[in-house]
């Protein structure tokens, strides 16, 4: 029996968040927070956002989702890839543990995974890769990636033919960026599918198939270009369809 999830269905998309002090109204306290641009991009692309704060982590939550976004944020702790911390590294250990656990759970189940900036670094580290902790130490002229505190730069990059990046963005593209760390050793099971002219990795994808994309830049900061988000939502809708059909097949054979 074939079932089709209607294009009107809005896939449930998990988004990882910060958990730290925030202010609202007359209050100031710890809160689960995420820049609104992520939520807005998911909604505009046709998804339903589900926030996943780094507290009470339960990797089985991926079973309730149609897709997962590992959002940007602070540096990934170097202890996760066997390095000593650089003086410029600022990590949030609880968030690292949370994001790595959810990333591995998504990969294990085949859940569509969209990892953004820090999220792409989490993807690489979760599979055994490592990071450059401060790009200016190894790449002259890298100020374009983080021009000033709170100021996004712009990165131009070339994509790999046939990749998710290539299919959705074409051979060349540009995007907002804000990071001072970058990929170093690429984990087994991942491949580079976009890079800047200076060699800085801008996108990673899995070699095992499925919809897994890690981007070093910030596509959510460009609401006029939702190609990656729409491609991700389409993949999440397909995942939902296939999972529903498989469930029906199992029930019919019980």
Q: If DSSP codes are grouped into helix, strand and coil, which group holds residue 148? A: strand
Q: How deeply is 56 buried, as exposed, middle or buried, from its count of CB atoms within 10 A (0-12, 13-18, 19+)?
A: exposed
Q: Taking Cα atoms as reference points, which of 121, 78, 84 lies closest to residue 100? A: 121
Q: Report d(CA 231, CA 18) in Å as an integer.
A: 25
Q: If DSSP codes are grouped into helix, strand and coil, which group holds residue 218? A: coil
The Cα-based distances of 58 to 26, 51, 74, 121 in angstroms read 32, 13, 21, 21
Whose tokens are 């998911």? That residue is 42
Q: How many whole angstroms from its chain centre is CA 36? A: 15
Q: Taking Cα atoms as reference points, which of 70, 95, 103 lies closest to residue 187? A: 103
Both tokens assigned to 71 = 């959002």
Q: Report d(CA 65, CA 48) in Å as an integer.
A: 10
Q: Active-site residue numbers?
A: 117, 218, 220
């Amino acid at each position: 029996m074939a079932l089709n999830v209607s294009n009107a269905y809005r896939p449930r998309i998990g988004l990882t968040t910060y958990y730290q002090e925030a202010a609202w109204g007359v209050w100031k306290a710890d809160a689960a927070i995420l820049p609104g641009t992520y939520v807005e991009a998911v909604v505009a692309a046709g998804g339903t956002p589900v926030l996943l704060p780094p507290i009470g982590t339960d990797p089985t939550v991926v079973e309730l989702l149609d897709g997962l976004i590992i959002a940007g944020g602070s540096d990934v702790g170097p202890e996760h890839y066997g390095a000593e911390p650089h003086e410029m590294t600022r990590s949030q250990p609880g968030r690292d543990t949370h994001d790595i656990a959810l990333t591995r759970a998504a990969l294990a189940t085949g859940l569509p995974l969209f990892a953004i900036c820090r999220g792409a670094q989490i993807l690489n580290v979760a599979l055994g890769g490592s990071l450059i902790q401060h790009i200016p130490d190894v790449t002259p002229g890298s100020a374009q990636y983080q021009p000033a505190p709170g100021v996004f730069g712009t990165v131009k990059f070339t994509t790999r033919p046939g990749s998710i990046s290539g299919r959705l963005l074409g051979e060349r593209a540009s995007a907002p960026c804000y990071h001072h760390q970058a990929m170093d050793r690429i984990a087994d099971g991942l491949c580079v599918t976009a890079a800047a002219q200076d060699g800085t990795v801008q996108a990673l994808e899995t070699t095992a198939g499925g919809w897994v994309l890690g981007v070093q830049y910030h596509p959510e900061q460009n609401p006029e270009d939702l190609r990656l988000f729409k491609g991700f939502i389409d993949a999440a809708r397909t995942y939902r369809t296939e999972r529903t059909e498989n469930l029906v097949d199992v029930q019919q054979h019980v």
